[in-house]
Each structure stands twice: as C-alpha cells, then as structure tokens.
Amino acid sequence: MAEALGLTFQQVQKYERGANRISASKLYEIARALQVPIGWFFEGLAGSSEAGEGGRAGDTPFAHSFLTTQEGIDLANLFPKVQRRRVRRRLVDLVRAMVEEEAEGEPAAAG
C-alpha cells in the first residue's frame, strides 16, 4: 500500500492507527489503489443520525456525496494547497453564503 501511494510504511501505519488524518485527496488515492469506490469507506454511515468528527449531525454521508463528483475531487485536491488560512476561511464562507442563498429560493446560475 505504501508503495502504491508513494508513502513510507511508517506513514501508512500512522493512517491505520488514526495518528494522522487522511485527506480527501489521499482517500481518493487509497480507493484507487484498493480498486474500490470511495463510497466503500462510508458504507453504513447513511443511516447514522450523527456525523463523524469534522461533520455535523444530518450531514452524513457528506464526504461520500462530495467525493463522487469531479468538482468535489478537484476541490479536495486544491483546497489544502491554499496556504493562507484566512483565504481558506473566506472560501468556506463564500460557499456557505452561496448554499444559504440557494436554500432561500434564489435561482441557481446555469453552470
């Protein structure tokens, strides 16, 4: 597994033990290496009323639906490369505002 991911054995062990979190882009690489769909990692979560760490109750399966789109994968790969924390925070605020506006019945722009 380590070789397929371009990691050291020790790095993979840290993922296995939960010492390091797995980024969305790394999870995508792991799924490809194991030849399983990303949804495989989230099986059984859809019926849960509580989200895992980092999510909110009712958002499950947030990561699965996010990573099943090309745009989600692109964002997951690019977002960690934004170095400035303040810029990342503003991006999250922008997306949140867009979602809230859409929920209020504003028509979505054609894309």
Residue among 80, 23, 84 nearest 54 (CA): 23
C-alpha 26/C-alpha 32 separation (Å) is 10
State the Cα–Cα distance between residues 17 and 14, nearest whole angstrom. Answer: 5
Task: Please tell me whether the overall predicted TM-score, pTM, comes out greater than 0.95 for this model.
Answer: no
Residue 22 DSSP label: P
- Note whether 24 and 76 are within 8 A (CB): yes
Domain ranges of the chain: 1-36
Q: State the average pLDDT for the chain.
A: 77
What would the pLDDT profile of 59-98 be if each residue is shown by its tens digit?
Answer: 445 666 777 777 888 888 788 888 888 998 899 899 889 9
What phi-psi label fits residue 6: left (phi over 0), alpha (psi between -120 and 50 degrees) or beta?
A: left
